Structure 1
Amino acid sequence: MKFRQKFGLPVLLGTVLTLGSLTSALAEVSEVAIAQQYGISYLPLMIMQENKLLEKETKAAGLGDVKVTWAKFAGGNVMNDALLSGDLQFASGGLGPFITLWAKTRNNIGVKAIGAMNSMPLLLNTNNPDIKSLKDFTEKDKIALPAVKVSIQAITLQMAAEKEFGAGQANRLDALTVTQSHPDGMLAMLGGGSPINSHFTAPPFQYVELEKPGMHTVLNSYDVTGGPHTFNVVWASTRFVTANPKTYAAFLRAFDSAIALINKDKQAAAEFYVKAAKTKESVAFIEKMLNDPNIEFTTTPKNSMKYAEFMQRIGMIKVKPSSWKEMFFPNVRNLPGS
């Protein structure tokens, strides 16, 4: 059963678009490219793609038959390059790559987040029984994560290292990290015969790993930030949004609709994910994950400033936002973010 058949017409959340000075363009784009990465955290975008929600919303807005293309990337750093080159209009990924691009483009194309996509804990798992804390890692250990130094996992590891080893020690474990997509990192660690014995990843991969004998968690990102934090956001450039306000508004409606579908029926969402991702995990396994109170699909940013402040303090970005709202478009600024 397809996700759209179970729900019928999607229930739209009441996103209030207050883009202020944005004016309607004489002609908006006829083609939009959207990128996502791997894992259940990208479920809203997967639903948008399957149900052609953006195509329906742009047509309803009088924009005609807008062509929507989708791409998958292993990490947010590569996605940022694609957005800067104009090959992408909407990018998605962890807070780290987004904040990096926000700071870099403040005075030109003005990349900002459309909204959060979820809040999820990120787990650093290992198959090495001798590793109980970050202090137990040695030069013989290798940690797979989506992108060395710039992914949200890499930055969270740096935040944790600073807490564990003291000021000036944020990069202490960087030399042990290896860039791998979530699926490849999991296979490398679980398959044996690889120097990678640890993996800082995301749902569902981290929970699949913990089902295997001999696996255990060394670090939970929620412990590093002192509570739930945004994992993924969706972003675009102010230049694009200004030139295409109707397309942007249509994206918001489609995105809100997809999140509403997930939150309305977790079982149907799990059934859809298992089929769409072609995962070997059962529907029950995925549904249990979606019902975990620590996992939430929401557009409200959480603890994003902790990442921005850390990144500015250690020199990853040159400027610190005055508040989380400076990094996001106006449509989410009325939410209780942080």
Structure 2
Amino acid sequence: MKSPQSRAARRTSLIRKLGLAGLISAALAAAAPAHAEGRIRIAEQFGIVYLLLNVVQDQKLVEKHGKNDGLDIKVEFSQLSGGAAVNDALLSGAIDIAGAGVGPLLTIWDRTRGRQNVKGVASLGNFPYYLVSNNPAVRTIADFTDKDRIALPAVTVSVQARILQMAAAKQFGDKEFNRLDRLTQAVPHPDAAAAVIAGGTEINAHFGNPPFQDKELAGNKNARIVLNSYDVQGGPSSATVLYATEKFRNENPKTYRAFTAALAEAAQFVGANPEAAADIYLKRNKSGLDRKLLLSIIKNPQIQFKVAPENTLGMAQFLHRVGAIRQQPASWKDYFFDDPVTSGGS
């Protein structure tokens, strides 16, 4: 058995290595020149909320709209977990388009205002997010105790974390908005869903998104919905969005325009072809999800695949009220770029 001193030495060595790797990574990012028109790097996460990006990728819609504008575009997709990781990737220059929740967007918009000026590009649609628990004693958020652990994609900054804070503020008062934060853990959606379905682990609740929340409800007889994001936000809301820096948008107008046009076409495609959209999701995500369950989610009348954001200002105002962001937006247009595809948003 290794001594405490030996374990401490190993930790110190690892920290030094990680620190050096971080410095090297930062140096490379700083040295990398801004790429010219004709390349776009997009980060997505997990779930059906990213279906529009799956369609864009599968049908090569960015490339299609780029060629219509006389431009060959190289499109790169990557998959990350959690708004914090996505925001770090965007600010380091590793990606051009970030896919995450409205919570991470508002955080990075607030922190980069007057510098990188990160703003929203488009919504990926309206989706109800469920906080699901397999603890029979938990029926409302007031029933959670120190024995419970709530998995979500990123602690405090993810859209799920922010909605939980909004719910806590309504339940316990604004001064207690972060009362449940101590119970949350950052866990990728697939792992969190597996834990809730299996039971018997410290993770007995998950604030997720479709299809993971649906799999939990179907896979564990004790699983129940404790909280619905629509109830917290006062109706259908755009929880997951795409955002970028002002620099990328300004320096790559044709590429940016091709991307937003591709998103709009993808939204039309999903609405008109849910069966084909389901097949694309299964193929792109190599998912073993039951196709019938998947189709029921895509056709759920509470879900709308659309690119104009809806009902996002309430969260922004809440975050300012409790001091989570410094800037107070007067309108959703403060943190979204002004583009034709998002006109009529809110």
- Common fold, TM-score beyond 0.5? yes
Distance 1:95 1:145 in 2: 14
Cα pair 1:40 1:203 within 8 Å, conserved: yes
Task: Structure 1: state its 5+ residue gaps.
Answer: 1-26
Candidates 238, 249, 252, aligned match of 2:246? 238
Q: Which residue of 2 aligns with 1:68?
A: 75
Structure 2 unaligned residues grouped into runs of 5+: 1-34
Pair 1:80-2:79 in alignment? no
Give, in whole Å, the separation in 2 of the partners of 1:103 and 1:328: 12
Asked if 2 retains the 8 angstrom alpha-carbon contact of 1:28 and 1:247, the reply is no
Alpha-carbon distance between aligned partners in 2 of 1:133 and 1:193, rounded to the nearest angstrom: 21
Give the conservation status (yes or no) of the 8 Å contact 2:264–2:341.
no
CA separation in 1, counterparts of 2:81 and 2:184? Answer: 15
| 2:273 is equivalent to residue 265 of structure 1 | yes
Q: How does 1:1-338 map to 2 (within 5 A)?
A: 28-64=36-72, 66-212=73-219, 213-332=221-340, 335-338=343-346
Moved more, 306-315 or 272-281: 272-281
Over 3 Å counting, the alpha-carbon distance change for 1:80 and 1:293 in structure 2 is same
What SS does the corresponding residue of 1:74 show, helix, strand or coil? coil
Matched residues in 2 for 1:89 and 1:116: separation? 16
Cα–Cα, structure 1 residues 192 and 333, in superposed 2: closer, same or farther, change >3 Å? closer
Aligned residue type for 2:69: A
Q: Which has the higher contact order (CA 8 A, sep 6+)?
A: 1
The answer (yes or no) to whether the contact 1:299–1:332 under 8 Å persists in 2 is: no
Tell me if the contact between 1:267 and 1:283 (Cα under 8 Å) persists in the aligned partners.
no
Q: Kindly indicate which of the two structures has a greater share of residues assigned to helix.
A: 2
Cα shift at 1:128: 0.5
- In 1, are the aligned partners of 2:58 and 2:280 still within 8 Å (CA)? no
The answer to whether the 8 Å contact 1:274/1:282 transfers is no
Contact 1:189–1:196 (8 Å) recurs in 2 = yes
2:276 partner amino acid: A
Instruction: Note the aligned Cα RMSD (angstroms).
Output: 1.5
Task: Kindly indicate whether the alpha-carbon contact (under 8 Å) linking 1:44 and 1:259 is maintained by their aligned counterparts in 2.
Answer: yes
In the alignment, the residues of structure 2 paired with residue 193 and residue 128 of structure 1 have an alpha-carbon distance, to the nearest angstrom, of 10
- Which residue of structure 1 lines up, in the alignment, with residue 18 of structure 2? none
Q: Distance in 1 between matches of 2:304 and 2:283?
A: 21
The one-letter code sitting in structure 1 at the alignment partner of 2:194 is L
Identity %: 43
Distance 2:299 2:61 in 1: 24
Aligned residues: 311
Task: Give, in whole Å, the separation in 2 of the partners of 1:30 and 1:297.
Answer: 27
Q: Which residue of 1 aligns with 2:6?
A: none
Distance 2:194 2:258 in 1: 38
TM-score, L = length of structure 1: 0.89
TM-score normalised by L of structure 2: 0.87
Separation in structure 2 between the aligned mates of residue 52 and residue 312 of structure 1, nearest angstrom: 39
Is the 1:300–1:332 Cα contact (8 Å) retained in structure 2? Answer: no
Deviation at 1:57, TM superposition (A): 2.1
- Give 1:224 deviation, angstroms: 0.5
Checking the alignment, whether the CA contact within 8 Å between 1:115 and 1:332 is kept in structure 2 is no
Cα deviation for residue 325 of structure 1 reads 1.1
SS state of the match for residue 209, structure 2?
Answer: coil
Letter paired with 1:51: Q
Contact 1:144 1:198 in 2 (8 A): yes
Q: 1:207 to 1:99 in 2, by over 3 A?
A: same
Tell me the SS of whatever aligns to 1:168.
Answer: helix
Mapped to 2, the partners of 1:120 and 1:150 lie a distance apart of 18
C-alpha contact (below 8 Å) 1:35/1:72 kept by paired residues:
yes
Whether the 8 Å CA contact 2:149–2:202 is kept in 1: the answer is: yes
Give the distance between the partners of 2:211 and 2:67, measured in 1 at CA: 34
Contact 2:125 2:239 in 1 (8 A): yes
CA distance in 1, matches of 2:261, 2:341: 16
State the secondary structure of the residue aligned to 1:92.
strand
Partner amino acid for 2:105? F
Q: Distance in 2 between matches of 1:275 and 1:337?
A: 31
| d(CA) in 2 for partners of 1:149, 1:126 | 19
Q: Distance in 1 between matches of 2:308 and 2:65?
A: 22
Distance in 2 (alpha carbons) for counterparts of 1:196 and 1:248:
40
